[in-house]
C-alpha cells in the first residue's frame, strides 16, 4: 500500500510538473523591448463602422496600386474583437517590429495574403505554420489560430566615426552563411561571439567606399560641366539660352544648335566642356546584388527563427509586470515605452558608446512610460504615467510636482481666451531632483569627483534665494490673435536678371498674450527693470510710465509692436497690452478653467476653433480655405492636467469632438475622409 501511494505521489508530481511547464510555455515579450502595445479589440471593434471604413480603405488601396486588392477589410480572417500584441526591439544592427493577431478564418486570411503578396510567390510550409515574405524585410506567418507579422530592418555595420575601433565587425551578418545559421533568441537579436578582424570584410568596405567616391565624382563633374556651360554662354550672350518649344525637334533642348530670330547666336564648341565618362561597374553591381541578397537572407533567418519560437509555444503572449504596471483593461489601446533603451540603443546609440556621459543620460532616462488611450463617445482621452526606475529619484521628481497653489494668476483667464498653460510646482525641490539625477551617474572611476561637483554646486547655489525669485507658480494666457499689416522687401528681376527691390505689405496675425509668475523677491525684478530703463544703451528701447515698463522697437515690422512688464502684489507680468493686467469677468466656462489652473501642478487648455478663426488670413488659396473650413467645423478643445498619482507623474490629455460622428474614433475617420475628398477634388479641378 505504501509502495502504491509512493508511485501515485510520483505520478501526481510529474503530471503537476508537466502542467506547470505547459502553462508557462507562452511567448514572452522580450525584456529588452523598447516598445510594447496591446490593442483591445473587444472594445475597439465596437466603435469601428466598417460600412464607412471599407470604401475609404479601398479608395486608398486603389490610389496606390491602380485597383483595390481587397473588397472587404472587415473580413480578412483576422479576429478583430480579440487582443492584438505589438512590440519592437533595437540592437546594434537589427531593428524589428512584430505584431500578433488571432484568426477566426484561416482560409479568408490566406486569401487576403494572396491578394497582397508578390505575384508568383508561394508560401513556405513549416512543421506547424506557413510563412511568406510580403517584401524584402516584411514577413508573415500563420497557422489555424494565430498570425504573426514581423518587419526586420538589418543594418550592416561598417567603419563609423563614432566607434572607438576603426574597423567595426558586423555582429549579425557574420553569423550567417549560405548554408549555416546560428541561434537567434526568441525575438530578433542574434547571439554570437565577436569575430576577429576579417580582411575580406575590410576589402568589401573599401570597395563600397570606391563606388561611393565614383558616384560623387560623376555627379560633381556633371554639375560642374553644366555650370561651365552656363558661364560661357552668359559671357558671350549675357543671358541664358531659351528653351525650345515642345514641337521643335532638337537634340539639346537647353543649348540648341538651330538658331532663330528671337534667340542669341549659337554657342561655339568653346561653350562646351567634356566630362569624363565612367563605364558601368558591372563587378560592383554584382557585389551590391550579393549584399542585398545577404541582407534579405539575414532578415529572413531572423524572422523565421522568431516564428519557430512562437509557434512552438501555447500561442499566448506574456508581458512582464513592469510593462503592465499601469495598464487599464478598459482602455482601447495600451502602450509601454522604455525611453532609456529607446534613446541609448536607437536615437543616440553611437553617442552613448563614444562619450563617458552616456551613463549620465542613462540615469536621466532610466524610466518607464505607459499610455492608455480611450475613444469615448464625445472625447479622446490619453492618460500617461511616467515613473523613474530609481525609487529615490522618483520621490524627488514627485516632490517637484507638489508645489503651493496660487490663485492670483487665475484671474488672468477670461472668456475671450484662446488657451492657457498654468504651472504650480515647487521650484526649491527642483534642485534636489537634479542632484539625485547626477548622483551615482557617470563613470564609476570618477564618482568621488562627481560627488565633489555636486557638493560644490550646493555651496555655490543658494537654492532658497533662487527659489524666492521664482517659486514655481506661473501662467501663460493666449487671449486672441489680431491682424496687423507689416512691410517687407521682395525682389523682382528684369529680363537681364538685374535685381530690383520692391516694398510690399502683408497681413500677419499678432498674438495678444499675458505671461505672469509669482515672486517672493519683488525688489530683485524691479532693480532689473530699472537698469533696463536707465542704462544708456537699453534706454532707447525701454521706457517707464508709473509702475509699468515697456519695450518698443523704433521701426517695427515684426509680429510684436510693444511689450509691457511690471511687478505688483508679488506677481511679475509680461504682456502685449496693459488692459490684460486688469481683472475680467468670467463665465461658468472660464471659471472652471480658473479652478483647474489653480488645482493641478500643470494644466492647460486650447480652443482650436478660436485659434483657427484667428489664423484665417494665413490661408490664401481656395483649397487651403476649404481645408480651414473643414477643420473649423470639426475641431474641438484640447485640455490637459498633470499630477502625482500611483507613485508616478500622471498626465491626462482630453480632446473634445464637435461634430455628429458616432464616436471619437470615427470622428477622426470622418475628418480625414472629408479632407482627403477635398484634396482629390482639387487635383481633379487642376487636371481639367
C-alpha to C-alpha distance for 625 and 617, rounded to whole angstroms = 9
C-alpha to C-alpha distance for 89 and 325, rounded to whole angstroms = 20
- Mean of the per-residue pLDDT values of the chain: 77
Residue-wise DSSP of 212-257: HHHHHHHHHHHHHHHHHHHHHHHHHHSSPPPPPPTTS--S-SSS-S
Q: What is the pLDDT of residues 66-85, one digit of tens each?
A: 677 777 888 899 999 999 99
| Closest C-alpha among 231, 218, 236 to residue 279 | 218
Does the structure show a pLDDT above 50 at 100?
A: yes
Q: What is the pLDDT of residues 638-674, one digit of tens each?
A: 999 999 998 899 999 999 987 778 889 998 888 887 7
pLDDT band with cut points at 50, 70 and 90 for residue 53: confident
Q: Name the phi and psi angles at 94, rounded to 5.
A: -135, 130
| Closest C-alpha among 644, 566, 637 to residue 608 | 637
Q: Which residues contact 245 (CB under 8 A, 6 or more apart)?
A: none
Poorest-confidence range of 148-157, 165-174, 370-379, 450-459?
165-174
What local confidence, expressed as pLDDT, does residue 550 receive?
92
What does each C-alpha distance from 217 to 229, 231, 501, 575 come to in angstroms? 18, 21, 39, 56
Q: Which residues contact 365 (CB under 8 A, 6 or more apart)?
A: 339, 340, 343, 344
What local confidence, expressed as pLDDT, does residue 259 receive?
40
H helix runs in 312-357, sequence order: 321-324, 339-341, 349-354
The arithmetic mean of pLDDT across residues 335-347, rounded, is 79
Residue bearing the bigger pLDDT, 51 or 183: 51
pLDDT band with cut points at 50, 70 and 90 for residue 180: very low
The arithmetic mean of pLDDT across residues 243-261, rounded, is 42
The three-state secondary structure class of 674 is helix
What local confidence, expressed as pLDDT, does residue 447 receive?
67
pLDDT band with cut points at 50, 70 and 90 for residue 11: very low
What local confidence, expressed as pLDDT, does residue 23 receive?
39
Question: Contact at 8 Å (CB) between 637 and 656?
Answer: yes
Residue-wise DSSP of 391-448: HHHHHHHHHHT------TGGGG--TT--EEEEEE--HHHHHHHHHHHHTT-S-GGGHH
C-alpha to C-alpha distance for 675 and 225, rounded to whole angstroms = 45
Does the structure show a pLDDT above 90 at 323?
A: yes
Element (H or E) spanning 655, and its range?
strand 648-656
pLDDT band with cut points at 50, 70 and 90 for residue 12: very low
The arithmetic mean of pLDDT across residues 196-201, rounded, is 62
Question: Contact at 8 Å (CB) between 268 and 257?
Answer: no
Query: Can you say whether the dihedral through the CA atoms of 182, 184, 188, 194 is positive or negative?
Result: negative
pLDDT band with cut points at 50, 70 and 90 for residue 351: low
pLDDT band with cut points at 50, 70 and 90 for residue 1: very low
Element (H or E) spanning 70, and its range?
none
What local confidence, expressed as pLDDT, does residue 132 receive?
92
Question: Contact at 8 Å (CB) between 490 and 504?
Answer: yes
Instruction: Quickly count: other Cβ atoms within 10 Å of residue 636's Cβ.
Output: 20
What does each C-alpha distance from 375 to 7, 25, 73, 180, 663 come to in angstroms? 57, 34, 21, 49, 7
What local confidence, expressed as pLDDT, does residue 210 receive?
67
How far from chain centre, in Å, is Cα 161?
26
The arithmetic mean of pLDDT across residues 306-323, rounded, is 92
The arithmetic mean of pLDDT across residues 280-302, rounded, is 77
Residue bearing the bigger pLDDT, 390 or 497: 390
The arithmetic mean of pLDDT across residues 454-464, rounded, is 79
Element (H or E) spanning 550, and its range?
strand 548-552
What local confidence, expressed as pLDDT, does residue 596 receive?
81
Question: Contact at 8 Å (CB) between 161 and 328?
Answer: no
Q: Please report how the helices 391-400 and 427-438 are oriented relative to each other, as an axis angle in degrees rounded to 10.
A: 160
Return the exposure string of 568-598: e unless at least 16 CB atoms fall within 10 Å of the residue's CB, then b: eeebbbbbbeeebbeeeebeeebeebbebbb
Does the structure show a pLDDT above 60 at 16?
A: no
C-alpha to C-alpha distance for 386 and 368, rounded to whole angstroms = 6
What local confidence, expressed as pLDDT, does residue 556 receive?
61
The arithmetic mean of pLDDT across residues 216-237, rounded, is 68
Q: What is the pLDDT of residues 130-179, one digit of tens each?
A: 999 988 889 999 999 999 999 998 876 655 544 444 334 344 444 443 33
Residue bearing the bigger pLDDT, 169 or 321: 321
Does the structure show a pLDDT above 60 at 348?
A: no
Q: Percentage of the chain surpassing pLDDT 90? A: 30
Amino acid at each position: 500500500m505504501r509502495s502504491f501511494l509512493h508511485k501515485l505521489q510520483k505520478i501526481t508530481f510529474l503530471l503537476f510538473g508537466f502542467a506547470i511547464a505547459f502553462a508557462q510555455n507562452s511567448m514572452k515579450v522580450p525584456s529588452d523591448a523598447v516598445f510594447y502595445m496591446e490593442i483591445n479589440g473587444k472594445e475597439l471593434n465596437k466603435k469601428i463602422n466598417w460600412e464607412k471604413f471599407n470604401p475609404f480603405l479601398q479608395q486608398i488601396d486603389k490610389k496606390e496600386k491602380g485597383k483595390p486588392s481587397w473588397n472587404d477589410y472587415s473580413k480578412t480572417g483576422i479576429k478583430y474583437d480579440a487582443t492584438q500584441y505589438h512590440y519592437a526591439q533595437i540592437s546594434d544592427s537589427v531593428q524589428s517590429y512584430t505584431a500578433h493577431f488571432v484568426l477566426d478564418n484561416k482560409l479568408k486570411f490566406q486569401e487576403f495574403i494572396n491578394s497582397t503578396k508578390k505575384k508568383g510567390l508561394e508560401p513556405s510550409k513549416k512543421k506547424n505554420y506557413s510563412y511568406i515574405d510580403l517584401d524584402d524585410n516584411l514577413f508573415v506567418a500563420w497557422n489555424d489560430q494565430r498570425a504573426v507579422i514581423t518587419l526586420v530592418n538589418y543594418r550592416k555595420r561598417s567603419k563609423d566615426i563614432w566607434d572607438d575601433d576603426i574597423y567595426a565587425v558586423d555582429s549579425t551578418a557574420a553569423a550567417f552563411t549560405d548554408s549555416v545559421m546560428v541561434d537567434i533568441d526568441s525575438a530578433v537579436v542574434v547571439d554570437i561571439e565577436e569575430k576577429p578582424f576579417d580582411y575580406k570584410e575590410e576589402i568589401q568596405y573599401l570597395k563600397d567606399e570606391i563606388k561611393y567616391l565614383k558616384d560623387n565624382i560623376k555627379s560633381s563633374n556633371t554639375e560642374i560641366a553644366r555650370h561651365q556651360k552656363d558661364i560661357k554662354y552668359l559671357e558671350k550672350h549675357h543671358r541664358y539660352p531659351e528653351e525650345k518649344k515642345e514641337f521643335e525637334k532638337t537634340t539639346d533642348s537647353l543649348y540648341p544648335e538651330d538658331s532663330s530670330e528671337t534667340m542669341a547666336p549659337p554657342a561655339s564648341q568653346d561653350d562646351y566642356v567634356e566630362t569624363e565618362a565612367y563605364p558601368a561597374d558591372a563587378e560592383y553591381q554584382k557585389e551590391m546584388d550579393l549584399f542585398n541578397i545577404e541582407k534579405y537572407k539575414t532578415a529572413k533567418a531572423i524572422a523565421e527563427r522568431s516564428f519557430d519560437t512562437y509557434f512552438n509555444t501555447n500561442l499566448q503572449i506574456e508581458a512582464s509586470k513592469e510593462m503592465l504596471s499601469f495598464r487599464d483593461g478598459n482602455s482601447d489601446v495600451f502602450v509601454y515605452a522604455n525611453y532609456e533603451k529607446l534613446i541609448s540603443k536607437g536615437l543616440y546609440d553611437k553617442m552613448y558608446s563614444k562619450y563617458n556621459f552616456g551613463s549620465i543620460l542613462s540615469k536621466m532616462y532610466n524610466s518607464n512610460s505607459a499610455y492608455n488611450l480611450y475613444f469615448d463617445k464625445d472625447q479622446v482621452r490619453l492618460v500617461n504615467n511616467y515613473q523613474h526606475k530609481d525609487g529615490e529619484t522618483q520621490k524627488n521628481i514627485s516632490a517637484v510636482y507638489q508645489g503651493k497653489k496660487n490663485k492670483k494668476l487665475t484671474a488672468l483667464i477670461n472668456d475671450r481666451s484662446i488657451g492657457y498653460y498654468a504651472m504650480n510646482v515647487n521650484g526649491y525641490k527642483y534642485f534636489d531632483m537634479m542632484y539625485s539625477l547626477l548622483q551615482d551617474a557617470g563613470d564609476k572611476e570618477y564618482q568621488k569627483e562627481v560627488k565633489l561637483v555636486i557638493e560644490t554646486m550646493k555651496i555655490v547655489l543658494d537654492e532658497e534665494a533662487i527659489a524666492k525669485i521664482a517659486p514655481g507658480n506661473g501662467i501663460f494666457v493666449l487671449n486672441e490673435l489680431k491682424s496687423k499689416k507689416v512691410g517687407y522687401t521682395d525682389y523682382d528681376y528684369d529680363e537681364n536678371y538685374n535685381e530690383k527691390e520692391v516694398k510690399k505689405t502683408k497681413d500677419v496675425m499678432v498674438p495678444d498674450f499675458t505671461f505672469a509668475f509669482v515672486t517672493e523677491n519683488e525688489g530683485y525684478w524691479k532693480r532689473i527693470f530699472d537698469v533696463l530703463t536707465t542704462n544708456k544703451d537699453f534706454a532707447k528701447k525701454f521706457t517707464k510710465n508709473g509702475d509699468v515698463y515697456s519695450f518698443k522697437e523704433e521701426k517695427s515690422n515684426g509680429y510684436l509692436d510693444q511689450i509691457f512688464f511690471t511687478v505688483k502684489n508679488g506677481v511679475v507680468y509680461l504682456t502685449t497690452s496693459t488692459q490684460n493686467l486688469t481683472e475680467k469677468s468670467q463665465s461658468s466656462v472660464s471659471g472652471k478653467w480658473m479652478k483647474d489652473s489653480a488645482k493641478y501642478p500643470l494644466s492647460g487648455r486650447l480652443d482650436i476653433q478660436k485659434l483657427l478663426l484667428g489664423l484665417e488670413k494665413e490661408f490664401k488659396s481656395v483649397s487651403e480655405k476649404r481645408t480651414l473650413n473643414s477643420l473649423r467645423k470639426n475641431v474641438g478643445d484640447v485640455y490637459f492636467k498633470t499630477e502625482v498619482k500611483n507613485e508616478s507623474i500622471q498626465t491626462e490629455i482630453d480632446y473634445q469632438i464637435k461634430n455628429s460622428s458616432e464616436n471619437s474614433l470615427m470622428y477622426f475617420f470622418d475628418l480625414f475622409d472629408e479632407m482627403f475628398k477635398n484634396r482629390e477634388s482639387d487635383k481633379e479641378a487642376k487636371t481639367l
